[in-house]
Structure 1
Amino acid sequence: MANDRTPPSGISDVAIAHDYLTQRGGAEKVVLAIHRAFPDAPIYTTLYEPQDTYPEFADTRVFTSPLNRVAPLRRSHRLALPFLAWASNRMRVPARHTIVSTSGWAHGFRTAGSKIVYCYSPARWLYQQDAYLGTNKLTPKSAVLKILSPLLRRWDRRKAATATKYFAISTVVQERIKATYGIESEVLPAPHSVDLTVPQEAVELPGGFLDGFYFCVSRLLPYKNVDAVIGAFTQLDLPLVVVGSGPEEKNLAALAGPNCVMLKNLTDGQMQWLYAHCTAVVSASYEDFGLTPIEGAVHGKPSVVLRWGGFLDTIREGETGVYFDAPTPQAVARGVEASRQVAWDEAAIRAHSTLFTEEHFARRLRDEIVAIENREAAR
């Protein structure tokens, strides 16, 4: 279904809002999970580029901001940063209840009814700029952020205060929401969306990889620390498959040796095959949640992850994975070596993944809508 800039006439019961649909990542998977829970809900977003995000969005009703007319902004949402507050202010969602999926913009959309915010993090580019940019040096991007930040922080905090209910994706994000906005939120883990009925599609890999490769799935951004993972596997001389795209793609490709294969834009069937055939999932990212270890767990695969953030909520040390303490090649390598000494129980790992189902996630959102309606009826 093609995107549209004209909202539907009348008021929807439930609508979904998201920052922008221009990439494939965990947040976009959550939006699809919300849509499966509320299949009649239209989606409102600032930018939508169908070829760069999940194809399932083509079967939804997507309404966009005027910025979507500018093709370069659809292809690179970071170019739109100076204009996104304006575009978010222009977005009006005619619905009794709007479920907002956001890490920076969609909580600023104007809603006709309740606004239930599902927050991945207060905007990293406003409150964690060095981590977001990967440097504290002055660059054109950091210069623009420095100029715009005071105004955008005021806008951001004012818009956060318009929420009816705040959910946080993890405990670390719950703490960050309190510190940034002074808002008490409820932790609601994101659901995995692995469908084991999807037929696996084999991915062509070098011969040595078939003996058991390690798997890193990530947007290629500085704070994801994929360079540390590649460096670790160069030291270990073990096979590594990296799936993802982003601004660091060229730099990381230059680091990757013959033991590292970099892929992107894979189908669900190909991703299923890689999870099913990997030895373990590896991530050195500063993740506010981190879906990939859970997706690996659905296939009975352990994880080797940074002891930080959302991973602390989702990994049981020694049972479903191991931690390392710093995003450095040496620390990652030690974590991988430690994981190779464990006799992993695939059944226990799979059982752990059932704590993060779409059914539980959807039920909590529906219960919140009922609670809001009951409060409205009691007034």
Structure 2
Amino acid sequence: MSRSLVIAHDYLTQRGGAEKVVLAIARGFAGAPIQTTLYEPADTYPEFEQVEIRTTGLNRFGWLRRHHRYALPFLARSVSATTIDADVTLVSSSGWAHGFRTTGRKIVYCYSPARWLYQQDVYLGEHASWTTRAMLALLAPWLRHWDRRQAKTADAYIAVSRVVQQRIRDIYGIEAEIVHPPHSYSVTGERHMPRGASDELAASGFVLCVSRLLPYKNVGAIVDAFSDLPHQLVVVGAGPEEARLRGRAFKNVTFLKELSDAEMRWLYAHCDSVIAASYEDFGLSPIEAAAFGKPTVALRWGGFLDSIVEDVTGVYFDRPAPDAIAEAVLRCRGRSWSSDAIRAHAQTFSEEAFIAKLSSILAGVTMPGGRG
């Protein structure tokens, strides 16, 4: 684009699907800086070191960079006090970055309106501390007002899936176009066995779960399901639920975290299938698995309805409960799959197609007489 463009994101302090999408956007709009609130290079993807990262004043506090959830009382004021000077700001947001002030057009790529404001029971789960619940109860009325006001400052909203499109309509009264996130793994890249894995694990035909360890991801239900299954489960991810999940897991469950792309490619290449039980707005792991020709076992909910073709690229279960999950795993393993059909599905979620759709929307909003 000939116009100046800045990418905005909530915070770069973890490794997850949203951060992968931001990297895809940065590759697609090469040279565009990223404005964020907090940036902790050691805790997110190393590729961000190749991009100009701009932060707010909160970034001075190392403790907040390492524990971004404790920054919640300060994030709204921090982004509201920051102005992005660019013709176009492409915002990657799940709750904060849409509040940055801009001098030009603002287009929001929305993973979901803030879960911690509008889906608190699902987001917090049953193990959240009383201090967390009390803080949210105190701040939520003001934050909901702030959140809805900031949503109205956007020239256009883009949703990652149909369920998020409906959520944006219900909460903000905004009609959003859908652009599915891309998968970003090169199937032909290097593959390295992760520490903690083994050739014996690969030979066993393990099931792979890639997820942040948060309550609404329902990884605990998956771990419990494998207590009654003879198969191996590999869980890749980190988060506040980690210690609790490790404590309840049987010997057939292996936990890994902070893996490189090469290590993730090894896991996708050697697993039999991928499993996901989360209340997901989209969920990239089924698409990443599909790129390697592997099926997915997933909860029939939300974004998985956009990313999985039933009985072609995966199977569903209807409840995030151990018995339902175990039954679906056995069903998946008991049938044959066409790797070619699964890979063909993954190709429709390419990074090139994703950037082309975003570019078209940006052009429509920013041209004279455009959608803005």
Report the TM range for the smaller structure's normalisation. Answer: over 0.9
Distance 1:128 1:101 in 2: 20
Count residues in correspondence: 369
Q: Deviations over 1:149-207 (max 9, x none)?
A: 00000000000000011000000000000000000001110011011232101235253
**Compared CA separation, residues 214 and 95, structure 1 to 2 (3 A):** same
Aligned residue for 1:106? 97
**Aligned residues of 1:177 and 1:185 also touching (Cα < 8 A):** yes
Unaligned runs of 5+ residues in structure 2 are none
What is the percent sequence identity of the aligned residues?
Answer: 55
- The answer to whether residue 158 in structure 2 is matched with residue 172 in structure 1 is no
Say if 2:62 is the partner of 1:71: yes
AA aligned to 1:258 is K
How far did residue 375 of structure 1 move?
Answer: 2.8
Segment of structure 1 superposing worse, 94-103 or 367-376: 367-376
**212, 216, 226: which one pairs with 2:219?**
226
CA contact (8 A) 2:191 2:265 kept: yes
2:80 to 75, 81, 89: 89
Partners of 1:45 and 1:62 within 8 A in 2? yes
The residue correspondences of 1:147-158 to structure 2 (distance < 5 A) are: 147-158=138-149
Measure the CA separation in 1 of the matches of 2:71 and 2:258. 23
Asked if 1:266 is matched to 2:231, the reply is no
On the 8 A contact 2:156/2:365 being kept in 1, the answer is no
Matches within 5 A, 1:1-379: 13-135=4-126, 139-203=130-194, 204-205=196-197, 207-376=200-369
Matched-pair contact (CA < 8 Å) for 2:291–2:343: yes
* Aligned-residue CA RMSD (Å): 1.6
Q: After alignment, is 245-254 or 88-97 more displaced?
A: 88-97
Contact 2:161 2:282 in 1 (8 A): yes
Instruction: Look up the match of 1:5.
Output: none
Query: Is contact 2:105–2:366 with CA below 8 Å preserved after alignment?
Result: no
Q: Could you say what secondary structure the match of 2:108 adopts?
A: strand
Measured in 2, the distance between the counterparts of 1:239 and 1:31 equals 32
Cα distance per residue 1:229-279 (max 9 Å; x no partner) = 111111112100000000000000101111000000001000000000000
Give 1:365 shift: 1.3
The amino acid that maps onto 1:351 is A
Question: What amino acid maps onto 1:283 in structure 2?
Answer: A
Does the Cα contact within 8 Å between 2:202 and 2:270 map onto a contact in 1?
A: no
**Inter-partner Cα distance in structure 1 for 2:64 and 2:211:** 22
Q: Which residue of 2 aligns with 1:8?
A: none
| Residues 91-121 of structure 1 deviation map (CA, whole Å, 9 limit, x = unaligned) | 2111101110000000000111111100000
Normalised by the length of structure 2, the TM-score is 0.96
SS at match of 1:95: coil
Distance in 1 between the 2:366 and 2:159 partners?
21
What is the rounded CA distance, in whole Å, between the counterparts of 2:128 and 2:370 in structure 1? Answer: 54
In 1, distance between residues paired with 2:197 and 2:152?
50
Relative to structure 1, the CA distance from residue 377 to residue 22 in structure 2 (aligned partners, 3 Å threshold; closer, same or farther) is closer
Contact 2:317 2:325 in 1 (8 A): yes
Distance 1:378 1:55, change over 3 A: closer
C-alpha contact (below 8 Å) 2:273/2:294 kept by paired residues? yes
Query: CA 1:137 to 1:372, structure 2 compared with 1: closer, same or farther past 3 Å?
Result: closer
8 Å Cα contact 1:45-1:65 kept in structure 2 = yes
Could you tell me whether the CA contact under 8 Å between 1:192 and 1:357 is conserved in 2? yes
- 8 A contact 1:209–1:239 mirrored in 2: no
Paired AA for residue 134 in structure 2? A
Counterpart AA for 1:150? P
What is the Cα deviation at residue 371 of structure 1?
1.4
| d(CA) in 2 for partners of 1:247, 1:181 | 30
Runs of 4+ with >3 A deviation: 376-379
**CA contact 1:130–1:136 (8 Å) conserved in 2:** no
> Does the Cα contact within 8 Å between 2:365 and 2:371 map onto a contact in 1?
no
Q: Secondary structure at the match of 2:315?
A: strand
| CA-CA distance at 1:138 after TM superposition | 6.7
2: CA distance, partners of 1:158 / 1:271: 40
TM-score by length of 1: 0.95
Q: CA 1:201 to 1:138, structure 2 compared with 1: closer, same or farther past 3 Å? A: closer
Give the match's secondary structure for 1:216. Answer: strand
Q: Distance in 1 between matches of 2:353 and 2:237?
A: 28
Contact 2:234 2:253 in 1 (8 A): yes
